[in-house]
Amino acid sequence: MIHPTKFLCQRFGCTETQLLIYTSTCPRRYKKYKIPKRNGGFRKIAQPSKNLKVIQRVLLKELLQKNMPIHECAKAYRSNVSILDNAKPHLKNEYLLKMDFSNFFPSIKADDFSKYLISNNILTPDLSKELTLLSRIFFMWESGQLVLSIGAPSSPLISNAIMYAFDKKLSLLGKEKGFEYTRYSDDLTFSTNNKNLLFDVPDVVSQILKDLSYPTIKVNPEKTIFSSKKHNRHVTGVTITNNGEASLGRTRKREIRSRVYLLANNKTSDAELEKLRGHVSFANVVEPDFIERLKVKYPVQMELLFRKF
């Protein structure tokens, strides 16, 4: 059984009273802003203060993480697991289904985390002060409740851990029925070579979500997409070719190649350079042969890009 209060007081050299006073203000120690989404609209980001980030990281790494298993089907936010690993189980399958959760992180509440800690024997119900302490440290105050924020370093692990039961049920069902399942944060991907197998999966997913004791999460029906080899197939930004290989896709490769070429003429701003570094880093994971060819053709420009990697 863990004891967060005792751990934090010893770790940071404070009294219990000092810790409680500080943590009572934690849910409001967030800087909020918006960033544009790739397909339009904006995503709300809430980053905790510098000191709160430190506490969140220390608590997870040194006290909680070892007690919070992540299912192998969850591919996001894990060490040595890339976005390509999310696509690999689906490469050889002809039929694909993609689904998406609505407001994934904010749908996970502090009460959900408390239920998770209790049901997994990490804390007992009688340790209400400890549960309150962790809720205040990991969750922000939004619209009258404590919710998981998009931007806190602790949110990815907490979300993956809380979704363990959901991932396990779908994984077992996939093995029984004959489909592959992976989850990359709020993106769900299913694939199979059985032509009609996936049509019932959306209803099954919705029912599993309803049956969960926690959290209360819903699917965004507008992002439920069926596809096959007759159409373009993409898994979290990775294109699946008809030969069953992972690719960046022609359009993205052409864009990266063009931007790398422009570096020689100093026509790239600092902001654009950082963005290009991100694209090249992603490409190096998905299709490293493409990056090697760019290194041969544009050695000076690629050296500039890879200095930071």
For 146-169, how does the pLDDT look when each residue is reduced to its tens digit (9 = 90+)? 999 999 999 999 999 999 999 999
**Which pLDDT value is given to residue 267?**
65
CA 227/CA 95 separation, integer angstroms = 6
Written as one string, the DSSP assignment of 200-242 is GHHHHHHHHHHH-SS----B-GGG-EEE-TTS-EEETTEEEPT
Instruction: Decide if pLDDT at 294 tops 60.
Output: yes
* Among 251, 244, 248, CA closest to 236: 248
For 98-121, how does the pLDDT look when each residue is reduced to its tens digit (9 = 90+)? 999 999 999 999 999 999 999 999
* Among 33, 158, 53, CA closest to 147: 158
- The first and second tokens of residue 38, run together, are 């790739």
- The first and second tokens of residue 305, run together, are 């890009």
Q: How far is CA 225 from the centre of its chain?
A: 20
